[in-house]
């Protein structure tokens, strides 16, 4: 059965924002603030409770002097009433506890904001499309998940709380000042309005500088990832100095941007402090004149000035809160860029039935390519120029051809890491775009060219993504992949840590681990990409038997590099420059295809791909 290609099921990013392929687009400050609000919204009840308790604590603090005054007045009269003393003690203890609880709730909200952002980001990262990840710097993505989310904690709920408390108390103070003298209030507002102008100018600059700092931190992460990912190569090439220089440059950029943010912060703090001082002087002058003219009494001026004293730190608090919000907004904007990246659709394409749990079909899968054209990205030359072949269920099919002919790309298209620009890739006669992605990948075991092994134990690596594995199955697969001797040798057997990228295993051992992992998935289609290239002759012969045996139960496609694999294959697909040039058995192709004849004599005899023929189309 074949189905019509679905209407563009490839871009499946959720939400109202268009998905992108790189996380580096510029963001406007307002969208950063909106994104920040989105992070805070789920915690609004806890934050409101924290702010409320903080306010209650402050009000109880304000009442303490009045109660203390009553206690002292009573003492003065020789009246040592226990009531006011008890009330004062209760006020002190309860005020402290309530304020502390408010603080705790805000900190809890902050931790929840950060945790939710990290969980959302990591979920998103693991669902990103392969081409998207290839275009990003892993170190930068790591910085966004760790460092940018930490900035949310630093700036968000406490800043909002300071802003809300500061605003409420400022408003209350302004009302009291207005009740005392409207003229002096107008003078105060006219002078302090300048602080508002300065904040409006400076705040976006703090946001921009923070963003630059975080970008530099991201670049540092990328540079570190580059060095640690090829640590031996860096050392063997004597490149420590030049790589350290690149890291220092990123650190210096981060420092400069951080200093710029600090400078803008200092400007706004200084300007607001100076403006408040000027305000005192102006109010004193205008107030003095009004006292002289008899418009207000001295006590009104004194009371007004006392309120002005109380207002000054609140203005500072508000200015600081705005700066902190800008820092949070800059971080939220960078996080948003990752959330906007295109993710894979785990469901099927438009016309397929609803995706349920993958049904385990025991039959070997049939694979076919129909006129597949594909380029890795629009600017790059095409890699496949109309690839067509059909492989029935079962048996071993070998792919041979010069380096760069497009053999690995065939496997990537079957796994739907990429989608063809034209033509169709069919599994069991169904376009792979119509398969639910989890069902498609559950049907396939893939041993990649460089047999990646992840940090963790050998057992973790073997059971990666395959939860329901019995010890018996594990032992059987260890035997088939010739790993028994390796596990016997390791100090903790299957539970031995294999190190970063399996660095404590040899290349051949890594290949066998990757083969065992693929077999454990009980696939219907096994893709082997130069899977035995690093094995010695004895292990290679044993693994060949395993593959031949597997080919009786599942369909095996293997990019082959040894004549021994090719001669045992049921069919061979010869690829050249992005096209299928010939299909047949070894004997047929030796007779009919000149390129195959040459490959058989050179590359396949050597057991290694001929990299001299790296003639990409
Ligand atoms: N992720 C990628 N992004 C861009 N270009 C790529 C990518 N992967 C492969 N290519 C290019 O596509 C072409 C085909 O690559 P592919 O790996 O399919 O060839 P191959 O036949 O498997 O080669 P080899 O035998 O050397 O592994 C090459 O020119 C390669 O440079």
**3-state SS string for 74-102:** HHHCCCCCHHHHHHHHHHHHHHHHHHHHH
Let me know: does 138 contact 225? Beta carbons within 8 Å: yes
Cα–Cα distance between 122 and 501 in angstroms, integer?
Answer: 20
Best residue among 132, 374, 408, 577 to mutate for probing ligand 1, ranked by most atoms within 8 Å of CB? 408
Q: Are residues 11 and 19 in contact, defined by beta-carbon separation less than 8 angstroms?
A: yes
Nearest ligand 1 atom, CA 405: 21
Measured distance CA(572)–CA(408) in Å, rounded: 15
614 burial type by CB count under 10 A (0-12 exposed, 13-18 middle, 19+ buried): exposed
Show me where the domains of the chain are located. Answer: 29-224+254-279+315-339, 453-522
Half-sphere exposure of 121 (CA within 13 A, CB side): 26
Residue 502 has pLDDT above 60, yes or no: yes
Regarding the beta carbon of 568 and ligand 1, being less than 6 Å apart is answered no
Give the closest residue (by CA) to ligand 1 atom 25: 403
- Report the nearest atom of ligand 1 relative to the CA of 449: 27
What CATH class does 453-522 carry? alpha beta
Taking residues 487-516, report their average pLDDT: 85
93-107, 187-201, 215-229, 407-421, range with greatest mean pLDDT: 407-421
Classify domain 29-224+254-279+315-339 by CATH number: 1.20.1560.10
Cβ–ligand 1 distance for 417 under 6 Å, the answer: no
Task: Indicate whether residue 19 lines ligand 1 (CB < 6 A).
Answer: no
Quote the pLDDT of residue 253: 86
Asked whether residue 420 carries a pLDDT value surpassing 50, the answer given is yes
pLDDT of residue 450: 77
Pairing relation of β-strands 430-431 and 555-559?
unpaired
Average pLDDT over residues 135-153: 87
Average pLDDT, the chain: 82
Which among 14-23, 28-37, 41-50, 227-236 has the top mean pLDDT?
Answer: 41-50
Indicate whether residue 405 lines ligand 1 (CB < 6 A): yes
**Residue with CA at minimum distance from ligand 1 atom 31:** 404
Is the CB–ligand 1 distance for residue 364 below 6 Å?
no
Does the pLDDT of residue 2 top 50, yes or no?
Answer: no
| Enclosing H/E stretch for 342 | none
Does residue 376's CB lie within 6 angstroms of at least one atom of ligand 1?
Answer: yes
Could you check whether 29-224+254-279+315-339 and 453-522 share the same CATH topology? no
Query: Ligand 1 pocket, 409 CB below 6 A?
Result: yes
Measured in angstroms, how far is the CA atom of residue 579 from the centroid of ligand 1?
13
- Cβ–Cβ under 8 Å, residues 280 and 188: no
Q: Which atom of ligand 1 is nearest to the CA of 401?
A: 21
CA of 558 to the centre of ligand 1 (A): 16
**336 ligand 1 Cβ < 6 A:** no
pLDDT at 3 over 50: no
482 lines ligand 1 (CB under 6 A): no
Q: Residue 346 contacts by C-beta under 8 Å, 6 or more apart in sequence?
A: 127, 355, 436, 437, 438
Is the C-beta atom of 402 inside 6 A of ligand 1?
A: no
Q: How many CA atoms lie within 13 A of 259 on its CB side?
A: 6
ipTM exceeds 0.85: yes
For residue 131, report the distance from its CA to the centre of ligand 1, in Å: 13
């Amino acid at each position: 059965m074949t189905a019509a290609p679905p209407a563009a099921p490839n871009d499946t990013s959720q939400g109202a924002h268009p998905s992108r392929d790189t996380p580096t687009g510029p963001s406007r400050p307002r969208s950063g603030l909106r994104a920040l609000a989105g992070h805070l919204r789920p915690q609004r009840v806890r934050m409101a409770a924290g702010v409320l308790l903080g306010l209650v604590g402050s009000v109880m603090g304000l009442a303490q002097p009045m109660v203390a005054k009553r206690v002292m007045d009573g003492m003065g009269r020789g009246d040592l009433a226990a009531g006011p003393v008890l009330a004062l003690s209760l006020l002190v203890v309860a005020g402290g506890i309530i304020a502390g609880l408010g603080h705790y709730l805000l900190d809890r909200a902050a931790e929840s904001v950060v945790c939710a952002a990290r969980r959302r980001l990591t979920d998103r990262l693991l669902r990103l499309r392969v081409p998207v990840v290839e275009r990003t710097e892993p170190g930068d993505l790591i910085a966004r998940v760790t460092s940018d989310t930490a900035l949310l904690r630093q700036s968000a709920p406490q800043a909002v709380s300071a802003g809300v408390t500061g605003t409420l108390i400022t408003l209350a103070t302004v009302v009291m000042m207005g009740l005392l003298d409207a003229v002096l209030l107008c003078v105060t507002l006219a002078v302090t309005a300048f602080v508002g102008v300065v904040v409006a100018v400076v705040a976006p600059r703090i946001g921009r500088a923070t963003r630059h700092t975080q970008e530099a931190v991201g670049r540092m992460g990328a540079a570190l990832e580059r060095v640690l990912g090829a640590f031996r190569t860096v050392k063997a090439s004597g490149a420590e100095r030049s790589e350290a220089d690149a890291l220092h440059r990123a650190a210096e950029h981060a420092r400069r941007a951080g200093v710029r943010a600090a400078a803008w912060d200092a400007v706004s703090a200084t300007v607001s402090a100076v403006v408040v001082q000027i305000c005192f002087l102006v109010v004193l002058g205008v107030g003095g004149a009004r006292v002289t003219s008899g418009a207000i009494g001295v006590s009104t001026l004194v009371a007004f000035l006392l309120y002005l004293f109380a207002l000054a730190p609140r203005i500072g608090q508000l200015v600081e809160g705005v700066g902190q919000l800008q820092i949070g907004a800059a971080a939220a904007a960078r996080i948003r860029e990752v959330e906007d990246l295109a993710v894979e659709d785990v469901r099927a394409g438009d016309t397929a039935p609803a995706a349920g749990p993958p049904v385990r079909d025991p039959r070997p899968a049939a694979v076919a390519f129909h006129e597949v054209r594909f380029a890795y990205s629009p600017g790059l030359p095409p890699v496949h120029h109309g690839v067509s072949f059909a492989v029935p269920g079962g048996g071993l099919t070998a792919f041979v051809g010069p380096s760069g002919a497009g053999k690995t790309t065939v496997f990537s298209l079957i796994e739907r890491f990429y989608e063809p620009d034209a033509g169709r890739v069919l599994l069991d006669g169904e376009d792979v775009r119509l398969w639910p992605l989890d069902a498609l990948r559950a049907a396939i075991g893939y041993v990649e060219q460089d047999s990646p092994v992840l940090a963790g134990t050998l057992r973790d690596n073997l059971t990666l993504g395959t939860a329901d594995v019995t010890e018996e199955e594990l032992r059987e697969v260890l035997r088939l992949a010739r790993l028994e001797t390796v596990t016997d040798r390791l100090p903790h057997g299957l539970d031995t840590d294999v190190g970063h990228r399996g660095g404590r295993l040899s290349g051949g051992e890594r290949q066998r681990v990757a083969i065992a992992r693929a077999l454990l998935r009980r696939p219907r289609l096994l893709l082997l990409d130069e899977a035995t290239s690093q094995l010695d002759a004895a292990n290679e012969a044993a693994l060949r038997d395993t593959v031949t045996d597997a080919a009786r139960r599942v369909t095996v496609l293997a990019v082959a590099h040894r004549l021994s694999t090719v001669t045992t294959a049921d069919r061979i697909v010869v690829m050249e420059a992005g096209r299928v040039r010939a299909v047949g058995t070894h004997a047929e192709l030796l007779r009919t295809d000149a390129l195959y004849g040459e490959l058989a004599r050179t590359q396949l005899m050597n057991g290694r791909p001929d990299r001299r023929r790296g003639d990409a189309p």
